Amino acid sequence: MLLPHDLREWVPEDDMVHFIIESVEGMKLQRLKVNERGTGSRQYPPEMMLELLIYCYANGIFSSRRIERATYRDIAVRYLTADTHPDRDTIATFRRENFDAVAECFVGVLEIARMLKLLKVGTVSVDGTKVKANASQYKNVSYERAGRWAIVARGDIPS
């Protein structure tokens, strides 16, 4: 190939990545920290790192290692990161140093999605009721007893 691929052609127009990029671009992001000394890992735009975290969280990818792997494997993530690949340490450091801002922006993206009626946001309640089990504690099988039963079932009865 003579020219590099245009990743916009590979990501469908209705993909969530476009919504996240536009939502984050419209937010005030003055609180994001970056490595101002310029030492250590390569610098990435904080807006891109924020978009990367929000997109991966929305898709159930939470581990920094898996997010790094997604920058190589997932076309939408490659599009979002402009085909760059932040390493796991950079992702973890950004998340740690900007934890409050990431949480605030994630909620902001959810609010925008709710206002546009793209998703339903509500309350989830978990019931902590304790229910007595209908099992006898005398019928439970210990590891040792299960081992004896396995020996008997195989026919290796010790004499």
DSSP for 101-115, written as a single string: HHHHHHHHHHHHHHH
Q: Which residue has the higher pLDDT, 156 or 9?
A: 9
- For the chain, the domains span 7-115
The alpha carbon of 19 is separated from its chain's Cα centroid by a whole number of angstroms, namely 17
Residue 77 CA to chain centroid, in angstroms?
12
In the chain, count H helices and then E strands. Answer: 7, 0
Q: How many CB atoms lie within 10 A of CB 141?
A: 10
Residue 80: per-residue pLDDT: 94
Give the rounded percent of residues in the chain with a pLDDT score beyond 70. 86
The predicted model scores a pTM of 0.69
Whether 137 has a pLDDT exceeding 90, the answer reads no
pLDDT at 37 over 60: no
Tens of pLDDT, residues 13-34: 889 999 999 999 888 777 777 7
